[in-house]
Structure 1
């Protein structure tokens, strides 16, 4: 390669890196946290940080939150501890995961699609779905980064010919971190790698005892500790968080027979824009590729495309068969989709789109991010915080939602404890113990918080007469604060016997 060509490629790589940083960090903290997801994860993380209890995830001081393993909460809490209680600090782990996936797409392309590194990285960075998810607080971007790390390490162990033991160890580290992020779904690439060992590399799987031991040492201690301290928790993990999410529609996540089509098809078609046409052309050629892959010679000649097809299609089949279906579940598949874009464009000998088209799409992405920060949605917890502060003259130390959607994002924006209560006690049971609908019942919460300054209550305006009547029947008085906000009554309570 001539020096001038090398200089051009270096400048191109640096330009791509700068573009990715702009996409990742522009307007990162320009909007408040959106409930339910951003508020829920940040609330648990802040409870960890403030209480010093990093072992037991809690949604309030008395109620645990066991629906996800702790790694997402740990990294959010660490980010807030380092950079302060801001929305940008809460989102930083997801943003860094987005950048890590771009880098990993580049690195994997060097092995599977030589010369297609820029295409793969640019495709991932500018696909609509990964870009949008990088601005949301969920478990899925950390999961995507750790799963992709494990796959990259596995590829290096098999294809580099050097330091295979080190790469195998890194693979198991990636899977352990993925397991600490989302449990068994973090291991979905394992069947892909096993199938690739059999079909593509024609070698015995390297998943041996030292790697499994490393995985167990990293991934299992937290599970062992919390299960030992909480009798019945293992039953909840296996029953509710694995069996019910896979085999039932208990959580109401599009469990209908057609749910996979309604959720995943638009996610894949719209989420891969503006690169969807290349993937459509790949999909149209897939039957021809499958016929070629019947022979060992065909598989060896087209190993990269076969591996990437396995990486996309096997997990996608699992997601379609499972009864719990959300768009974010597909996020780990967007790295192999970006790599398939590079494979397809190399087959067609298509160069990258000209820079005016790329620049125009980047402007669209940044405009969407800016528009989201100005969108007046009821999900924005910072707007709720403003409405509450306008209605009370004392510092808010607790916000109590009565039979209503809980705005956990207020934990960050008001620095107050957030609770959700029901009018009546909850039924007993494993699910009720470890993932109760409500933290407490009305009578218990009134006894604790009614006369304490700084306790703010919120309920739906349509249920205000009923809830006020229940409060009065328990010997307390409920006083609205100002006018309703978004069809909610914001109020305070006091004992009927207490002086005004």
Structure 2
């Protein structure tokens, strides 16, 4: 791929602009319920309690849903920089940057610097990747895992650098500590299919199996053993419940930490189309020339395009029969999808004017940038209008109005209220609400709007609506500014 100086500068500007927008969002947007606030609060509890072995869903209640790598990352950030959103998000952003670097390094060595720069820009601007790059959850460490495995394998067996083979086992270790055995499956599907289709099974001999497995065991086994000893029952729930029943049982009722996400089977493909925007539109454009696509794959003697395709499709193949899925499950395949789309597009339309391609790229990146800028601006300047699911402002108002008073939330657990109150906010039911409201003690309540009239009848003072909830207190207070 040939790029002039102006195009390179534009790509660097795109990466810089999206990076600055990501940083602004990390500083300005509060934790929102449920996912990010929940994982942020689990990490905060790890710092507070000093228990770095077992993530805690609540004080004394182990969180068996995921291994602790993402919690260690966010808790480590808060240990270093204080309990705040940026400290928890920064390690996740660093994992995203590591993924981008791996993609750039790999594509540079395989097809050249220019293609590597474009592929990195495409991946960085994919809707789901950009959103997850500074979001406290398990998925970005998982993407780092699968990317390291896939890049490490190709570089070790095809790039002539055997040291990359250790990257395969290090990547598997990261995945096992980020999400568990699903990391092995997501990496194994494309690798095994590629080896079978190309009949290159002999390449497996090039991996450092003895030392690699020793590395994997040393990094992973101690935590799994210690976790089962500390909280018996973890392995059964995590390996069977989270890895089998969650995906095969619609509306799985065994989830200890929420409810199942029941989706129609095959919904993962629609999730991919949304997650890869705006570049999933390029995939649709490529499909308009099926004959050319087939020719390009046939002429690829190294089968690199097949490798990329299988990697990109692996989450879709795994989760197509599953009902209990989330849109973020497509993330591990996005690095390969970004590279594949760039390589196929440049080969398929190499005879077309480059100006048209540059214009289309500029329009697509500006459109997705405008979307994320609008969402971030809305979260910062107009949280009420976009119905931001965060109780940060409410907790601040309650603390200002009634310093030291307990805060209770009605209508379910609010992880954002727990995080911003440093674990002091507690969920209560309506019966406890009536009892506490009449106790005469100084108490603050976070009440859903549909229960505001009931709260007023109990003699509580309405301090106003903050986000999705109304703040009530049990005694007169100074005006909250």
Quickly name the TM-score band, shorter chain normalised: 0.7 to 0.9
Question: What aligned pairs does 1:390-409 form with structure 2 within 5 A after superposition?
Answer: 390=400, 392-396=401-405, 399-402=407-410, 404-409=411-416
Question: CA 1:22–1:453 in structure 2 vs 1: closer, same or farther (change >3 Å)?
Answer: same
Question: CA 1:23–1:159 in structure 2 vs 1: closer, same or farther (change >3 Å)?
Answer: farther
Q: Which runs of 5+ in 1 are unaligned?
A: 425-441, 470-477, 494-500
Write the deviation string for residues 302-347 of structure 1: whole angstroms up to 9, x where unpaired: 6121111111223211111122111011111111111112122221
CA drift of 1:139 comes to: 0.9
Write the deviation string for residues 392-420 of structure 1: whole angstroms up to 9, x where unpaired: 42225x54445x33221234323243444
Question: CA 1:222–1:121 in structure 2 vs 1: closer, same or farther (change >3 Å)?
Answer: same
1:134 maps onto 2:133 in alignment? yes
Match of 1:24 among 22, 25, 33: 22
Question: CA 1:98–1:253 in structure 2 vs 1: closer, same or farther (change >3 Å)?
Answer: same
Whether the aligned pair in 1 keeps the contact of 2:127 and 2:274 (CA below 8 Å) is yes
Match of 2:479 in 1: none
Match of 1:63 in 2: 61
Whether the aligned pair in 1 keeps the contact of 2:312 and 2:335 (CA below 8 Å) is no
Whether the aligned pair in 2 keeps the contact of 1:139 and 1:182 (CA below 8 Å) is yes
1:181 maps onto 2:178 in alignment? yes
Whether the aligned pair in 1 keeps the contact of 2:128 and 2:275 (CA below 8 Å) is yes
Q: Provide the rounded CA distance (Å) in 2 between the counterparts of 1:304 and 1:452.
A: 71
Task: Tell me the TM-score normalised to structure 2 length.
Answer: 0.81
SS in 2 for 1:301: coil
Q: Provide the rounded CA distance (Å) in 2 between the counterparts of 1:184 and 1:284.
A: 37
1:170 maps onto 2:167 in alignment? yes
Q: Which runs of 5+ in 2 are unaligned?
A: 476-481
Q: Provide the rounded CA distance (Å) in 2 between the counterparts of 1:147 and 1:455.
A: 48
Question: CA 1:145–1:369 in structure 2 vs 1: closer, same or farther (change >3 Å)?
Answer: farther
Question: CA 1:11–1:467 in structure 2 vs 1: closer, same or farther (change >3 Å)?
Answer: closer
Higher relative contact order (CA 8 A, sep 6+): 1
Question: What aligned pairs does 1:67-466 form with structure 2 within 5 A after superposition?
Answer: 67-114=65-112, 115-162=114-161, 164=162, 166-187=163-184, 188-200=186-198, 202-204=200-202, 205-206=204-205, 208-249=209-250, 250=252, 252-256=259-263, 258-261=264-267, 264-265=269-270, 267-284=271-288, 298=298, 301=301, 303-347=303-347, 348-349=349-350, 351=354, 353-354=358-359, 357=363, 360-361=366-367, 362-374=369-381, 375-376=383-384, 377-390=387-400, 392-396=401-405, 399-402=407-410, 404-420=411-427, 456-458=444-446, 460=448
Question: CA 1:133–1:373 in structure 2 vs 1: closer, same or farther (change >3 Å)?
Answer: farther
Task: Tell me the TM-score normalised to structure 1 length.
Answer: 0.78
Q: Provide the rounded CA distance (Å) in 2 between the counterparts of 1:278 and 1:455.
A: 56
Whether the aligned pair in 2 keeps the contact of 1:130 and 1:271 (CA below 8 Å) is yes
CA drift of 1:457 comes to: 4.9
- Pairs aligned (count): 451
Match of 1:482 in 2: 462
Match of 1:496 in 2: none
Question: CA 1:340–1:132 in structure 2 vs 1: closer, same or farther (change >3 Å)?
Answer: same
Q: Provide the rounded CA distance (Å) in 2 between the counterparts of 1:400 and 1:274.
A: 42
Write the deviation string for residues 77-126 of structure 1: whole angstroms up to 9, x where unpaired: 11112222222222222322332222222223224443411221111111
Q: Provide the rounded CA distance (Å) in 2 between the counterparts of 1:363 and 1:339.
A: 24
CA drift of 1:363 comes to: 4.6
